[in-house]
Amino acid sequence: MASNILKFLIILSSIFLSAANSLQTPAISTAFSKSHLSSIKSFCKSTPFPDSCFHSLKLSLSITISPTTLAFVLQTLKSAISESLKLSVLISDAGNSNLIEKQKGTVQDCKELHQITLSSLKKSISRVVSSPDSRKLADARTFLSAALTNRITCLEGLNSAAGSLKPTLISSLSSAYEHVSNSLSMLSKPNSPSGGGARRRLLGYDPPWRILEDNEYDPRDVVTVAADGSGNFTAISDAVNFAPNNNGSDVTWITGNRSVADGWTTFRSATVAVSGQGFLARGISFENTAGPEKHQAVALRINADFSALYKCVILGFQDSLYVHSFRQFFRECDIFGTIDYIFGNAAAIFQGCSIISRKPLPGQYTVITAQSRDNPDENTGISLQNCSILATDDLYANSDVVRSYLGRPWRNYSRTVVLESYIDKFIEPDGWTQWDGDQGLDTLYYGEYENFGPGSDTSERVSWGGYRVMDYNDASNFTVSEFIAGDEWLTYTSFPFDDGV
């Protein structure tokens, strides 16, 4: 009986609300009826976490009034935010004795990443809420993919941590991010609002470009370019003119030597770390000198949307360049390393770059990429286009004993493509290698399209379910406009780029 009264009140108030907002009310008559609940249930069945989905949607008025996919997405995002706010409280209390980190930076990483997640969730709502077109929905997918990547990066550090808060934190992370996975899945279905449709839309806002640096550097050596006047210059060209000696990558050289072996998290080992939005760098070298025996040691880590680098050099050994999350573009850059030296879960395109493998420690092999997509709905991956895949002289000289590969799957849905690139002889005929047994080999996506050079022959490549020689249509999904919406934002950077294949 009590529940009948409650139903009655809710139906009344939804009628009142809908009248007040002059909304269409086709669903009112079925509000909270069995068929309404069962249609929610069946909708939720297609999401990764049906129970969380159902709990989040069943009491929503807006869904009762207007049961559209977008209303479902919005309500799920709201649940994600409210769970994430609870998690924020927990994380801000972490430290001292309740969470003992084994790797320096674990707690700080989780705090920073979680802040980025919250802002990504809010931005996703803003993209979905009002007349979304396919580009706004692609933005939302980017933000949610980044949020899921943040969760995994936080968990990586927590794995080795101890303390009474650890289990609570891990379970709160799981429940908050179930709603994030669900939202992303709803946006990614073939028949969802983001499938197909017009692709072209001019940006309604100017990206706030700025060059950011790690705060460890002497601020007097840092030149910040910000369109809003908060930096030293408002235009990149002014900054370049101001620094006539800083016009080549030999000149501006930023170096460091943090590493996992010395106790840092991979995330925090970066010599330069960039988060935020709109990072531009031109003619700068980023280096980590820790050396191959120190394992993971990042030279440059980027988790900033709309990042573009032009004529930069990234130098390291294992894990040189951490393309952590969001959309990134590299043009005519030189990237050096030994193992997994381009890794992470951004949507990253490299054009006209030299990718140069260095000789590893005895007994090791070299691998260029370790892309870490872990969910088929994430719109992330690494696309190497018109690049030269080369080795240093000492690696060439040893290429009969040191094996070298294009990539290996850090996580199950790892996605890497090599398009129209020169592949030199040192790459093994099978091309790609495993991470851990046969894990991910059928679910990953590794593709090659119209490469050339003595290492480009695909006739002896791996025979995994996820590997393919791509055709034009496949390759078209990984271009500047399709993969990172770069036809819009890259034009603001003054950096050259090529669209299409």
Min CB(195)–ligand NAG separation in Å: 7
Alpha carbon 165 to its chain's center: 28
Shortest separation between residue 290's beta carbon and ligand NAG, angstroms: 8
Give yes or no for residue 386 binding ligand NAG (CB under 6 A).
yes
Is residue 481 involved in binding ligand NAG (CB under 6 A)?
no
Select from 204, 229, 244, 363 the one that contacts ligand NAG (CB under 6 A).
244
412 binds ligand NAG, rule: CB under 6 A:
yes
Q: Does 159 bind ligand NAG (CB under 6 A)?
A: no
Please name the residues in contact with 233: beta carbons below 8 A apart, sequence gap of 6 or more.
223, 224, 225, 226, 239, 242
197 near ligand NAG, rule: CB under 6 A: no
436 makes contact with ligand NAG (CB under 6 A): no
**Any residues with CB less than 8 A from the CB of 32 and at least 6 apart, and which?**
7, 10, 11, 64
- Dihedral sign for Cα atoms in the order 266, 271, 275, 278: negative
How far apart, in whole angstroms, are the C-alpha atoms of residue 100 and residue 1?
A: 51
Across the beta sheet with 334-337, what order do the strands follow?
A: 252-256, 284-288, 313-315, 334-337, 354-357, 388-391, 422-423
Q: How far is the CB of 127 from ligand NAG (least distance, A)?
A: 19
What residue number has its CB nearest to ligand NAG? 352
Q: If 0-12 CB within 10 Å is exposed, 13-18 middle and 19+ buried, where does residue 468 land?
A: middle
Query: How far does the chain reach from its first CA to its final CA, in angstroms?
Result: 65
Q: Pick the catalytic residue from 340, 374, 377, 424.
A: 340
Residue 82 contacts ligand NAG per CB under 6 A: no
Segment interacting with ligand NAG, rule: CB under 6 A, options 46-54, 172-180, 217-225, 454-462:
217-225
Of residues 328-357, those binding ligand NAG (CB under 6 A): 332, 352
Q: Is residue 247 a contact residue for ligand NAG (CB under 6 A)?
A: yes
Q: Between 99 and 138, name the residue whose CB sits nearer to ligand NAG.
A: 138
Cα 131 from Cα 128, distance rounded (Å): 7
Tell me the residue length of the chain. Answer: 501
In whole angstroms, the minimum distance from the beta carbon of 63 to ligand NAG comes to 28
| Residue choice 66, 88, 168, 257 for contact with ligand NAG (CB under 6 A) | 257
Q: Based on the number of CB atoms within 10 Å of its own CB, is 228 exposed (0-12), middle (13-18) or buried (19 or more)?
A: exposed
Residue 37: other Cβ atoms inside 10 A: 14
340 is catalytic: yes
Size of the site for ligand NAG (CB under 6 A): 18
- Residue 192 interacts with ligand NAG (CB under 6 A): yes or no: no
Question: Counting contacts by CB under 6 A, is residue 219 touching ligand NAG?
Answer: yes
Residue that the structure tokens 């939202």 belong to: 183
- Residue 450 near ligand NAG by CB under 6 A: no
Contact 299, 281 (CB under 8 A): no
Q: What is the DSSP string of 272-318?
A: EEEEEE-BEEESEEEEE-S-GGG----SEEEEEESEEEES-EEE-ST
List the one residue from 168, 439, 481, 494 that touches ligand NAG (CB under 6 A). Answer: 439
Q: Which of 223, 312, 370, 490 binds ligand NAG (CB under 6 A)?
A: 223
By the rule CB under 6 A, 232 interacts with ligand NAG: yes
- Interaction residues for ligand NAG, span 22-81 (CB under 6 A): none
248 binds ligand NAG (CB under 6 A): yes
Positions touching ligand NAG (CB under 6 A) are: 219-220, 223-224, 232, 244, 247-248, 257, 332, 352, 386, 412, 439-440, 474, 477, 498
Catalytic positions are 340
